[in-house]
Structure 1
Amino acid sequence: MLLRILLLFFSLQLCCSIDSITPQNPLKDGDVLLSKGGKFTLGFFSPGNSTRKYLGIWFTKVSVQTVVWVANRDKPISGPQGVFSIGVDGNLQVSSGKAVAWSTNISALIPPNDVNSTSGQILDSGNFVLASNNGKTMHWQSFDYLTDTFLPEMKIGLSKRTGLNRYLTSWRALDDPSPGNYSFRVDPNGSPQFFLYQGSDPVWRSGPWIGSRWSGVPEMTRAFIFNYSFVSNPDEISVTYTILNDSVISIFLVDGFTGTVKRRTWQESAKRWVEFWSAPKELCDQYGECGAYGSCNPNSGNQSECACFPGYRPKSPRDWYLRDGSEGCVKEDNVSMCRSGEGFLKLPSVKLPDTSKAVVNTSMTVKECAEACLRNCSCMAYTSADDSRGGSGCIALYGELIDTRLYPGGGQDVYFRADAVALAKYQKSKVALKNKRLEVILIVLAVLTFIIFVSTTAFWVHKKKKREWEEKRQRSIWIKDADDSDSDSELPFFTRNEISAATDNFSFANKLGEGGFGSVYKGRLRSGQEIAVKKLAQNSGQGVQEFKNEVRLIAKLQHRNLVRMLGCCIQGEEKMLIYEFMPNKSLDTFIFSKPIFISKNKLSVPRNCFLVLLTKEEKKASLDWKKRFDVILGIARGMLYLHQDSRLRIIHRDLKAGNVLLDKDMVPKIADFGMARIFGGEEVQANTTRVVGTYGYMAPEYALEGLISMKSDVFSFGVLLLEIITGRKNSGFYPDNPSINLVGHVWDLWKEGRALELVDPALNNDVDSEGEILTSIQVGLLCVQERADDRPAMSAVLFMLSNKVEIPSPSQPAFIHKGGHRDVDPSSSSTGAYSVNEMSVSATMVQGR
């Protein structure tokens, strides 16, 4: 019994956490320091697959080792001989044998009498402090020398008194914590703001602090977990934050792989980090995307996201047309500044232009700010310094107004200088709008008077309207599912007579294609608008769920790279969807050589079939690499919107060339959402017993096990990307190795360094684009890797395609061999499922395990 008690005593002693080192008790490799509350651990570690040793700090209770600070970033240790100690001069040092890899190098040496009383301690905040006299005198802290992670209670910014600049730098690689190419630091000039830099080039800008948030981060108004504090005074410019709920574990970091800053939160139930926020995440977030005097609107719906300020025009119309707005805008020829009649025009709800050259006066009112700016010809714009409580203070902007973007739901109003001509145009438009409103009011009054006059004879009209409303309500109830209680958007309903008139009574000449669920017709409304009508077969017994799905989903999705639904028609058992018409049909009519027309009657040959056969190669040649690359980027933007930026998180499940439509300007539009799946806000993977999609595009974990995630769509995108580059279908035949598909063929040539041999001959050996093509092939192979976790997210895909960055090497792709893996479920088959403007011919649903 005594022996047991002694063993228990010693085991308790060993389990007691040690949080400090002293000159007499250093820390050796294999031992760790644990903060008193058990939140953070300090010790030696080897990142990733590396065998090199670093001294670092990481979360104790996070099962995925997450290092938040590294001491010897530039000088790792080899072997297990590392020691973390306090030297004879009182400095902290990391050494191996007699070689010192890292030291605090405190210039003002610790008094010799204090060295023996000096200790280093890891705190529950994640800060490691060196202090003496029982912690009363602090000599050094890790929070002053940041790596890539911003923790609560840390400060980022500049101390004007000491010159200490605290900023973040990314890791060079997953297994190399040495400083990478991305940094996040404060710009103290003008109205201070933070920048994400790649080297010395600005990538993204936070905008200035405007009272309760950064101008360029409107999401902060909805944050109820974090409390930020910004300080700007003669001594320092800094920002810090706290977490209001102690149970939440969250970090802010610079990700060198994606070139973004991110806010991540640990999700204990899923044992993973969840991305809470990131930037930049779209084109308008990129610094200077629309140049000087240009504003960027990601939801513009136009060919370009960029627009010039009133009174300005594009500096380079050609580049502007090609959607490159970086040259910005210049004044119109008849515009001249600093003359009588000048004033200000409002840019509502925007991220403030770059404030590096701004002048801030917090004691002014906004009215005084406008008067002072008008008197100074160099002042180009003004706004309030504090946007809370109605606005106060003054930010006067000088120099070129650059990096302005629109935030429809959370920006700030900026007033920019305009000459008399621009002001007159604006006033004229306001008067016209006022007159139009007056006309509307008069018309409404006239209508009301007429209604009152004829009310005694209009009872039958009232009953008819009520009957129509009741019928429409019943149709609406039919569409809304029980689990779609948040649906607040209702599509316009067309009558069958309207659709019949538009399609010439569904004539054969207007028929675009046919599939298992029905047919697609071209039509023209009375307004002259061309439409495509997707008509469900009345007695097919299939497609009802898919019809509901498209109505629920597309009605809520608004993006320039998604097909737009105009309405629907429900009359008895007949159901139709009405879309915008795509004159260039689907992508597969351009990139594949042999057009196929298939219907339930085996073959259906439209009148223009032979014309298609004759012009197919000409159409293919017309899609040069520049256009193909624009199509690839457009599809990627559409998929990123579905996965991340839309109101709902959508998994498409049937992305392929036949489901990508092209408008008159060859802008790609993703279509056919009948098989799409809605994911919850925190849901990233699900298991389905109903596997749907197209053979050759389905990810292996989805086709074999029914596991669906956003990475399933990434796989389909990768296959489509390789098809666009090669002009071949994934299910094609390769004489050299008939057992593999396109993915396997590309992989074989990629390993041999012969990837350019598979490029579509119709591209005519475009040497200038070889680098871009090879990058696209490499990204495509990354997307079709066998393990879903290895595939990049669509945000990373778009970033790699849009920027010249180092791209990781792909691993073995998933080879989908010919032949199914199980019997096809005839009750759920969608063979011949159609697109909006042209049918698909290869979709197959299989039953998942």
Structure 2
Amino acid sequence: MVTSSTALFLLYYTFSALHSTSSTDTITHSNSLRDGDTIVSNGGTFALGFFSPPNSQHRYIGIWYNKIPIQTVVWVANRNNPINTSSPLLKIDDRSNLAIFNGNQTTPVWSTNLSLPITQKTSSSSLFYKLLDSGNLVLYDQNRGENRGASPVFLWQSFDDPTDTFLAGMKLGLNLTSGAKWSLTSPNGEFLFELKRTGSPEFYLKKGSNLIWRSGTWNGRSWSGVPEMTRGFIFNYSFVDGPDEIYITYSVYNKSILSRFVLDDLGAVHRWTWVEGSHRWTSFWSAPRDACDEYGQCGRFGMCNSSNNNGLICSCLPGFAPKSPRDWYLRDGSQGCVRKREVLCGEGGEGEGFLKLEKVKIPDGANARVDMSLGIKDCEVECRNNCSCTGYAAADVTGEGSGCITWFGDLIDIREYTDGGQDLFLRVDAIELENSMRTSKSSFLTKKKLLLLVVLLVVGILILMSVMYYLFKRTKRRGLARRERVQMQLLSLSNSDSYKGSSPCPKEYEEANANFELPFFDLDDVMVATENFSSNNKLGSGGFGSVYKGRLSDGREIAVKRLSRSSGQGTNEFKNEVVLIARLQHRNLVQILGCCVEKEEKMLVYEYMPNKSLDFFLFDPTKSTLLDWPRRYEIILGIARGVLYLHQDSRLRIIHRDLKASNILLDAEMNPKISDFGMARIFESKQTQANTNRVVGTYGYMAPEYAMDGQFSIKSDVFSFGVLLLEIISGKKNNGYYREDPLMNMIKHAWELWKDGRPLELVDPSLGNSYPEQDVLKCIKVGILCVQENAKDRPTMSSVIVMLGNEATIPPVLKQPAFVLTTNPKYSDSSTSGTGSRSINEMSTTIVEGR
């Protein structure tokens, strides 16, 4: 019923929870466990019950993690005696043993097999089995246990009978009094992980009688063959070597972390940690991991290094040579190494000495002796005075090192580490010792030269940094001076006669000007980026000047708006864009990267829009086919969000005053970005309307009250948005030429079609029939609402966005819109400005191609 599949396990677990004793963590004489029932530890970490391994029909009693979706079993009671019946039972038998019965059979398949005398203090009714939050199943005596306020007394625990998993709080090792072993066995029974006490205690991984891997000896903080243990930021290991017991145990600093040490069927040990975010077990550490982890890889007196670049991982210890070179270079280390020369071990140990090998896994301790009463210096004397001693090391490397391990006979299974391990002192002859000292001296001189070179290099770097710092400070001072000059120039623009008095709220405008932060580009950098304003890089032009494509030294593509020296209008536009758009941040507004004011040049640097402007696609019969209805609808929504940001959500309340298709740029994903803030105006937060004696904008997009009387407000932008919306639907310009009526504009045409009940005839023919009629009708209604003659009848942009999302919010009856500024089609995309509120005597053209 339970499989490795997460979904099946969850179904199984849910079913079990409904038909189980999961409300308790104990098994007593009065309650037993049937298939489908579970008990859960008090903290909910572990559960006990019947389960089946993946791809098996056999039933077992096991303990698994209760709170994770992947069933992970940590202990199995009857691993060698599976149950094949459909009605197994777990209960306490008459001898107070926990036993598993197969169906109605009277002989248990498995039991704790205890011999418990029934006394006055211990009776069958006072015993109970409890599942702890550590994953340990414990037999308690209630009369002598925790219920009487004394320390818990247990008579049996599952931790004393481990299977393949080592949990926090368990012991792995030996009970020297009873002879019991705490070891791990792989699920298939082929591999064993156990403590070997002969010589220096250490753990061995074995397959039958063959050694596969060993942990190395305990050095006071870790096993010498497990250098990762020195990074104990999660686990706290303890090694106990006492007269009655010798074992290792561990705890987890953070109790919320689930971690287990497992011996698998492939003969590897793993430290697994549960990662909640990814819902899986992650291997924190494993062994064996490489060829050097294999026991005795390089034979007797050989040393293994898996990081050697020449591919030969084996080498002989100093003073030793390969016994069989041919086999050695075949990387068969079974032959190992022999001494080059005999050590002249005489009285006092003359003619020989010890070499220190750093960061190694010290040799197999099977033929070693341990004496914790000796220090490292006494250890050397002890080894020197015994000619059979081949090497020594500290038994405890914490502090200055204490305890003594001495080896007699062959040294086997040594490996080098780049990080970790400990020092091993190897007995060598006098010649080898002298060669080593000569090499050390040469190395010392080399290091001395290197140190001198490093000192000179550091001094040189400091001098270079000082020079660079001086140049940086000088450049910064120049840059600040230039920035001040630029700001003064910008301030002078606002005080010029052509600009003075045109701002409806000079206080907010000058405050924005005084506090703006915008990167300044050097003229040389801009010229390099645009290839000296090459005609090949020219994107378009207007009354203000030209726009060029460029590429900065860091690879970014840019658009450079270069004001023409002869442009009277461009100076004010420049001032507006520097102060306004630099402070605006929205996904549907074009981003300004900086400006350049140097000599007579005034330039703005924008992000580059690879798909040019909306009119480039919209009014071209061929390119308009690239704008299907979903794309047009997203463009409409994007423009609406951008205008709403200007009117309501930005720090400065801004009226754009020149919304049109050529000022809507498209990025690589065809997302719309509003551009050209040269004619924009700042409003006070409570201001609703303003007047101007200089009408600027574009024929066909200007609201009636603005074009005729010079009055503008946020509703002026709403009118322009409505015109733009109808243009996006129809694919035609508002002031385009209509053959049946040369004075007809888009607004009038849309209204006539709406009155006649033929509004869908407005739709761009390039869309064919591939558009949702309801969405298009909704957009036409919103467009007509936005171009109402009376500004009060037009919705705000926040209402526009609501109506685009919910047709039910649109008024059911539409009024006739405004039919204003019908003019000669040849001026259909011209920006205007005037000195009077009604007369238009100045004209310039804005950008006609995307940036």
The two structures have a TM-score, normalised by structure 2, of 0.49
